[in-house]
Structure 1
Amino acid sequence: MSSTHSQSHVKKIEDYRAGYPRYTALLSAHVPFFLCRRFNRIRARVLLLKQNKLSELEEQLDQIDRDERRLLLLGSNRLDTNADRLSTLAEIDSSLADYGTLKCNISSICQIFAKIWRIPDEFVDRSHRMLSLDVAEARDIESLQNWLNGTGCITREETAYLSQSRELVRLAPSKDFALSRLEIWVEDALIRFYSKFRKSPQFDLSVDPNVYLYSGSLIKQVARALLLCLITFLLLMPVVICNITGSTSVRIFVIMISTILYLSILFSLTKSRTMELVLAGATYATVLIVFVSGQDDQPLLKAA
């Protein structure tokens, strides 16, 4: 009784007025919809501008040092009374603070000082963090474009940012990439082959028949079960096949095919780097060889 009562009071997206109130309600209903542009081109333009300004100040400082006739002033900051040099150094200090923050090897100390002095996030650091964000999924971009085209509640000029797919990044924290891929596959499969799926009470965030925002846990549970079965299959099937056959050549062939299959799935479902793939493949093949060789009187690997 209480669950039914609570579901009836869930505020729908269409309960908000058309325009930005409804659009922001849609974005807040699905975290991956939080997308924004990185503005790569103008960010690079500003970066080059700041860099060029620092280069000019550097040349200006070098020229002042070359023109200095009193060598004693170049060897002591305390005795330096050259107004031009002091003014240029002050301007360089200000420009460097705007260009980027000082890097520190001891992160904990830097964090403490940042909290005490409230060091701002400067341009280079902000750009680094922005460029480190994950690229937006084409699926999410297309969903927002379809919704906007269907409702027309936001002007085209203010939704044109969605057409800049190469610059769009997602603000949502990164999830397990493999599990995320499987969740998308499971959702598409359920929508295509299970007609009652979209009529379940988990689609309770919108009354629009063309809007499907799933809020249940079925997709995650199925995806995790598939991932578990896949991992178990990759780890145990080669062992089972090698135990069935007694031919050493067949066993080696099975291990090769299993390793190739394992690396292919790992490459397609994860964002692994080259070295990570090499280590994963070496570990997988070594475990299989050692395990399988121990099941026979004639091992594949003979101790020296």
Structure 2
Amino acid sequence: MPPIRIIKRFSSYLSKNDDISETVQPKPYLEGFPSLSALLSSDPDLQVYRRFNRLTARNLLYLQAEILDLETRLKEFDTEDLEVVSSEESEWMEVKLSSQCWEVFRERAEDGCPREKERLDLILKVRERLGDYQDALIRQSHLLNLDNPSLRVRGAVTGWFDEKRPLVGNARNMFNGRARHDMVSLRTPLDQDRLTTLLQTYLGHVFKSRKKYKDHPQDWEGMYYFPEATVKHIVSFVSVLLAATLLVGAITSLYFVKRPSTVIGILAAFTTLFAGSIGLLTNARKVDIYAATAAYAAVLVVFVGNLGMSNSN
């Protein structure tokens, strides 16, 4: 099997350690959880773990069913108490008072009255299960708001895991099969537009650093890193160059064209190219794309109008 090529970004502190000698060979990590945890902690982008969505949903369903059962039992107690009060049996006054006054209800339960004690135990259990259920709902809601790992990061982690096979037992299937699509990333990359993703995925090896991270053992040689700042600068340069090219190219073309039909065709072509570049290379919202395209087209239309007036004069 060919060596796994793991593309990651430098953390901010790594640039300070670039003078580490490349001849130093750190000791390998103990195979198993030590080596896997070392990999996941070696870069913030690699902090990916299982979501356990199906198991979480099942746990919520169990809690929900248990609470429904407790609710049914509580309703049955209420029905029994209502029958006692309505029939005015010997205990109807105590039952009615317990249903209206918490202090009396608690005191009778603490004194060992079977009816009140049974109901108090049920209420406390409802309180406990409701807390567990609501906490689980909130935690799952927060978990669902976390991003999935990018294909690049997911491929890096699962590729290393498949090659090294650090774990045995049931844990050996931690990232296998459908589990690859049940992962969560603890770090959301900033400014992760399509152009940045494209450069990181397909051209990361071009920007890779030649120096090794000081804590990487020899069996991690198939991995390489590239600095996040370099990709950011290249994306900024390409974006500015593309915007300037589309604007200057359109103006230059319109300046030398005289036929109205050709002018309209050039306007349509460059406006379409501008809108397409924004939509494909950025994460701009639709309303932002419309606004930017309208402004771009307005600049070209004004230029054509001024150019026509100059030619008339």
TM-score of the aligned structures, taking structure 2 as reference length: 0.66
Corresponding residue of 1:186:
203
Q: Does the 8 Å CA contact 2:48/2:184 hold for their aligned counterparts? A: yes
C-alpha separation in 1, matches of 2:17 and 2:183: 39
C-alpha separation in 2, matches of 1:96 and 1:80: 24
Instruction: Report the number of matched residues.
Output: 258
Counterpart of 1:167 in structure 2: which amino acid? D
Residues 1:208 and 2:219 aligned together: yes
Point out where structure 2 has 5 or more consecutive residues left out of the alignment.
Answer: 1-15, 87-95, 106-114, 256-262, 308-313
C-alpha spacing 1:141/1:297, structure 2 compared with 1 (3 Å): closer
Residues 1:95 and 2:129 aligned together: yes
C-alpha separation in 2, matches of 1:6 and 1:257: 45
Corresponding residue of 1:240:
248
TM-score of the aligned structures, taking structure 1 as reference length: 0.68
C-alpha separation in 1, matches of 2:220 and 2:54: 39
Counterpart of 1:259 in structure 2: which amino acid? A
C-alpha separation in 2, matches of 1:210 and 1:79: 70
Q: Does the 8 Å CA contact 1:206/1:212 hold for their aligned counterparts? A: no
Among 11, 35, 38, the alignment partner of 1:25 is: 38
SS where residue 177 of structure 1 aligns?
Answer: coil
Bigger RCO of structures 1 and 2 (CA < 8 A, at least 6 apart): 2
Among 22, 28, 49, the alignment partner of 2:62 is: 49
Corresponding residue of 1:119:
none
Q: Does the 8 Å CA contact 1:141/1:162 hold for their aligned counterparts? A: no
SS where residue 165 of structure 1 aligns?
Answer: helix
> After superposition, what is the alpha-carbon deviation per residue over 1:94-146, rounded to whole angstroms, capped at 9, x for unaligned?
2211111xxxxxxxxxxxxxxxxxxxxx2112222223222233433443444
Q: Does the 8 Å CA contact 2:165/2:172 hold for their aligned counterparts? A: no
Corresponding residue of 1:287:
295
C-alpha spacing 1:9/1:87, structure 2 compared with 1 (3 Å): same
C-alpha separation in 2, matches of 1:249 and 1:291: 16
C-alpha separation in 2, matches of 1:210 and 1:167: 28
C-alpha separation in 2, matches of 1:130 and 1:5: 36
Q: Does the 8 Å CA contact 1:134/1:174 hold for their aligned counterparts? A: no
Counterpart of 2:245 in structure 1: which amino acid? M
C-alpha separation in 2, matches of 1:61 and 1:55: 10
C-alpha separation in 2, matches of 1:160 and 1:173: 25
Q: Does the 8 Å CA contact 1:13/1:26 hold for their aligned counterparts? A: no
Superposed displacement of residue 159, structure 1: 3.0
Superposed displacement of residue 65, structure 1: 3.9
Q: Does the 8 Å CA contact 2:22/2:212 hold for their aligned counterparts? A: no
Superposed displacement of residue 75, structure 1: 8.9
Counterpart of 1:201 in structure 2: which amino acid? K
Counterpart of 1:208 in structure 2: which amino acid? D
Corresponding residue of 2:74:
61
Counterpart of 2:246 in structure 1: which amino acid? P
Q: Does the 8 Å CA contact 1:259/1:285 hold for their aligned counterparts? A: yes
Aligned-pair RMSD on alpha carbons?
A: 3.7
C-alpha separation in 2, matches of 1:254 and 1:134: 35
Among 279, 294, 297, the alignment partner of 1:263 is: 279
Point out where structure 1 has 5 or more consecutive residues left out of the alignment.
Answer: 101-121, 192-196, 271-275, 300-304
Q: Does the 8 Å CA contact 1:36/1:170 hold for their aligned counterparts? A: yes
C-alpha spacing 1:18/1:8, structure 2 compared with 1 (3 Å): farther
Mean CA deviation greater in 230-239 or 148-157: 148-157
Among 146, 165, 169, the alignment partner of 1:133 is: 146
Q: Does the 8 Å CA contact 1:27/1:34 hold for their aligned counterparts? A: yes
C-alpha spacing 1:124/1:264, structure 2 compared with 1 (3 Å): same
- Which residues of 2 match residues 131-170 of structure 1 at below 5 A? 131-155=144-168, 157-163=170-176, 164-170=179-185
Identity %: 16
Instruction: Answer with 1 or 2: which has the greater Rg.
Output: 2
Counterpart of 1:282 in structure 2: which amino acid? Y
